[in-house]
Structure 1
């Protein structure tokens, strides 16, 4: 049975953002995809019918690269996690974006971190009644088949020159297994962005990736470039096996960027990304980034991570991977975050409580706050959102005796180093500096 695709008219169920994509030059369409998928764990096949959502610019604005995201289902809903955090770079650079309902939970419902069924069928049973997912052991081949449709120009008349596979969190664990065990045979994608994975990979035979306990380093010889972006939450053992168990040195097709001061999720995830259309007034952006202790209806005893670096570095990773695939110029390397030499390694912290090593950004090299990937468990999801604390006035005065001007000068120098090192894109420079000036205590 060949893979078939047809349009699904109407508005798709996918939380892309509260901004108007049409005003940004992008159209949004939903399609149904049907076929027969194989399992890589056993000699079996199964029929499936899933959906994809395509966000694309006009042909004259398309940069030639299609980003294919494995949607994240950890919250019981198909979530476009990479789009959510990196859509500004995706839109301004003219990528096409294809969101794939690759896993069973997103379509049929099932176990998830929040215990709620927000699957496609639960949200709109009539619209999605034709969908059928036979189980996650078939998700790898479903994803490959949709990647081939994109490559072959069968999706919305797209004719990409290259296609990138992306996924975050649980989806990144599936992509880890895909890179290691599926890609050598499938050979569909030109590069992988594995965002915020933990130490294990997802099982080939289906079942919960969140219960996997065996370390899964990336293979020694990836077929194509792989960039993995790792936060503090992902690196050190906690609710899930830490990525440090799966660390391996970079090679000619692997780059791992470990970012100090970051959490798996943060203010950008819940307050900024949904409204960030690239034209927000500065005061609105500052207000959205402001420290908060509110998380999904729960008032915490501390503020969640409010550092902006995760968002900006991820956008640089998208640009670096695309450039690597297009030109052959490898993405930059970064030293790993420093860990203690203990049976249970912890981050090595500086005098301000910020992690040493990793991808250096101005928020940790010229700090006015401590941000971390770790936090007390005070709600079902709080362990993913880290914590943050603005320095007191005496600390700020001691660090920057020249006041705001002193701070901005030093911040600018650190930012320009990060841009020169290609861990932040030049297009974000003006916004970052405006944020820095506006958020200095007393500004």
Structure 2
């Protein structure tokens, strides 16, 4: 059968792309980054009847193992996140250690207009490609977000059917789509309305979505909320075509800036797994600090220093430290591994209990005597705690609301919990860590680093 998704054309772009990967060179992790302009005619899926078409030229960045023998056969296609006014590879930034370690190919897609040419609603400002480097990106033309879904499909088809255009000598067996935050809301719409028709991807990782989903007509999510519009709750459709891994933090459940995921909660089924992670915020110390130096060879002392409680966020002083718990990105890496096994072998990831909430609208999270939420995916940082970390914040600053909060226990509390001192803490932490690994919520490949980090941060 002929694909309903068009095949775009590709133009390689010489030089270093404007692309945030961290405070290291991509070669430091054994990868190569190449930028391309992708052009074609995209369709809008909004409205009834005939689809509207528009020409576009956007950019993609392919990151591939320099040693092609390390390629594991799966390509990740990420819907780049534009909430900060810049095309950000949010899932790469949070989970690049697993992506690199396992040898995935990665393609980041500038799917939305604000990341290409600015002019839209963002939380920070305009850092679009055309603003940052108007000469390099002068050829880009994005007709609007109502066309973003088809643009994303077309890049996915390109990766699947003409991989040499973007991936050189690599030929993927599987192609999966990832998206975080606003991009996760666009992927939710894609899964519910486009995937059954496009049939391009073998699975989806939806990371930190809220309760609603992006509108098909391309309207700005932030602008809709500012104008008093409500986003309808958007559970995933019951008849999913391929596996969907849905990773949710505390912030996402109750909502911050956007209405919470609580309104869209649904049971797992044969093609859906939802992990709600205790002790986590939508963004955290790994997002803003640790991930930028985490090459896999950074000294453990440097990683531990990045997790030190801080009230300084992007040049602003907060009333309390933002979330400094390490668990979020480690669980996300396990979710990626779980989705990969699911897609390749049919082995389903474990189901997980939901975070405990009351019946409020929006709900409040139920917490233990330390202020740590109960239920959800449990890691040793919440089972054997030396601090309270949470998805909730007290500040009026929108960014701080997304970064949650954290507070280290005082010495008296630590001594009461662990009368045997650091040795007792590490022994109990190790037991909890091994239980989480057996359950499938953390990876054995991260075990040694996690234990070193626990010892360094006690």
In structure 2, how many angstroms separate the alpha carbons of the residues matched to 1:343 and 1:146?
A: 39
Indicate the residue corresponding to 1:239 in structure 2.
Answer: 257
1:392-403 pair list within 5 angstroms: 392-403=410-421
State the match for 2:119 in structure 1. 110
- Kindly indicate whether residue 194 of structure 2 is the aligned counterpart of residue 176 of structure 1: no
Q: Report deviation, 1:24.
A: 2.3
1:439 corresponds in structure 2 to 457
Q: Is 1:75–1:112's contact at 8 Å kept on the other side of the alignment? A: no
Q: CA deviation at 1:275?
A: 1.0
1:55 and 2:66 correspond: no
Q: 2:365 aligns with which of 342, 347, 353?
A: 347
Distance in 2 between residues matched to 1:422 and 1:166, nearest whole Å: 20
Q: Tell me the residue number matched to 2:141.
A: 132
- Once the two structures are superposed, residues 396-419 of structure 1 have per-residue CA deviations (whole angstroms, 9 ceiling, x without a partner) of 111111111111010001000111
Kept after mapping to 2: 8 A contact 1:305/1:371: yes
1:208 Cα deviation after fit = 1.4
- 1:157-204 deviations in Å (ceiling 9; x for gaps): 231000110000000000000010000000000000000000000001
Distance 1:15 1:164 in 2: 21
1:199 maps to 211
Task: Name structure 1 gaps, 5 residues minimum.
Answer: none
Task: Name the CA distance, whole Å, in 1 between partners of 2:370 and 2:108.
Answer: 40
How far residue 289 of structure 1 moved from its aligned partner, in angstroms, is 1.1
Aligned residues: 440
Give the structure 1 partner of residue 349 of structure 2.
331
Alignment of 1:225-374 (within 5 A): 225-374=243-392
Task: Give the distance between the partners of 2:189 and 2:202, measured in 1 at CA.
Answer: 16
Aligned pairs (5 A) from 1:27-66: 27-42=32-47, 43-57=51-65, 58-66=67-75
Q: Cα distance, 1:114 vs. partner?
A: 3.0
Cα distance in 2, alignment partners of residues 322 and 87 from structure 1: 15
Q: Does 12-21 or 267-276 show the bigger shift?
A: 12-21
Q: Distance in 2 between matches of 1:424 and 1:2?
A: 38
Residue 188 of structure 1 corresponds to 200
Moved more, 236-245 or 204-213: 204-213
> Structure 2: which 5+ runs fail to align?
1-5
Helix, strand or coil at the partner of 1:273: helix
Alpha-carbon distance between aligned partners in 2 of 1:21 and 1:259, rounded to the nearest angstrom: 29
TM-score (normalised: structure 1)? 0.98
Which of 17, 20, 23 in structure 1 is aligned with 2:22? 17
2-side partners of 1:285 and 1:115: how far apart?
27
Residue 254 of structure 1 deviates from its aligned partner by: 0.1
